[in-house]
Amino acid sequence: MALLITDDCINCAVCEPECPNDAIYEGTDIFEINPDLCTECIGHFDKPQCVAICPVDCIPKDPNHIEDEAALKIKYEQLTGRPA
């Protein structure tokens, strides 16, 4: 699954620079995650960096973008050109 930033976001902006895929961006009201770019940090880190750093715990898995680990690895490989 891709991740999702909920309305609990306080716009602190600590998540945006932590994303290795540049999937996080400033939306109209809160930061948002582009599900086409989010790999939950698979291929880069052991756990999602935005989740690890978020001070309000507002980044769950996105139920509208269900992907298993294999799909996330494929996405990583497509985005980076490197094997996961």
Domain borders along the chain are 16-80
> Class of the 16-80 domain?
alpha beta
pTM of the model: 0.93
Residue 1 neighbours by CB under 8 Å, 6+ apart: 40, 61, 62, 63, 65, 66, 67
Per-residue confidence in pLDDT tens, the chain, 84 aa: 799 999 999 999 999 999 999 999 999 999 999 999 999 999 999 999 999 999 999 999 999 999 999 999 999 999 999 998
For 37-66, b/e burial (b = at least 16 CB within 10 A) is bbbbbbbeeeebbbbeebeeebbebbeeee
